[in-house]
Amino acid sequence: MLLGEILLFDAHSAVKEAIAAMINRAGICVVSGDDIKTRAYGYEASSAIAIAHGIDAFAVADAIRVVIDRQMIETVTVNNGHLCFTLTDEALIALAQKSAEGGIPSNITPPPLEDARRIEEYAYMRMRMFARKPGRGIPHSPSIRGALWLSLGMVEALNDKRLLKRRLTETAKAAITIDDSTSFIKKELYGEVCRCICAMLYVGITGVADS
């Protein structure tokens, strides 16, 4: 995926294809990346294939656990018939690093948005501030993990401007509310993650401004 001359990595699509390959290796049914959703709240990915095929979701989950890539997937659980997948911290930060390594200029201000979407621009500036901090890895924080995963969905949405605007706003709101109860000093641990979120907000704001 290209943003101007910058080649971007689509983390959400990569996860969808990897999970689909695991399910296919399990031999229960044949699926594609389109059968995997990456907006499951509380999880990085989910699938309704058990419901769609009329099979026992717990049996599917057990079969997947046999062939699972444990460097990528932390847990496979069942919620209301849906298979739910949680990424390992190592996989998530690797995806974030790959997404942000394309030379995205997170140290400059992206173009202004004509429709006064100030929350997105404020979130970008906030993440840019914390991006200067030295922290590496993913802190044990559901809010920052959720904001990071939301932001990594920006590239997938670049060809759908309505979806891009929605994901941009969702990411901005999540970024602004990262651990409101956490002290400013503790937030200094978030440097690497905030650099990635900042880069992805740049992608979203630039993509919306160019539409």
Q: How confident is the model at residue 185 (pLDDT cuts 50, 70, 90)?
A: very low
Q: Name 107's Cβ contacts closer than 8 Å, sequence gap at least 6.
A: 128
pLDDT at 106: 55
Q: Does pLDDT of 181 surpass 60?
A: no
Structural domain spans, the chain: 11-87, 105-209
Separation of alpha carbons 148 and 144, rounded Å: 6
Per-residue pLDDT of 13-68, as tens digits, reads 999 999 999 999 988 888 999 999 997 678 899 999 999 999 999 999 999 999 98
Report which of 161, 156, 119 is spatially closest to residue 12, judged by C-alpha positions.
156
pLDDT at 159: 87
CATH of domain 11-87: 3.30.1360.70
Helix residue ranges per DSSP H, 75-190: 89-100, 118-131, 142-152, 161-176, 184-187
Q: Look at 25 and 191; give whichever has higher pLDDT.
A: 25
Residue pair 88/100 in contact by the 8 Å Cβ criterion = no
Per-residue pLDDT of 128-175, as tens digits, reads 888 777 767 776 778 888 889 999 999 999 889 899 999 999 999 988
Separation of alpha carbons 47 and 34, rounded Å: 9
Whole-prediction pTM: 0.85
Q: CA angle at residue 122 from 209 to 177, to 5 degrees?
A: 120
At 208, list the tokens.
């919306």
pLDDT at 38: 92
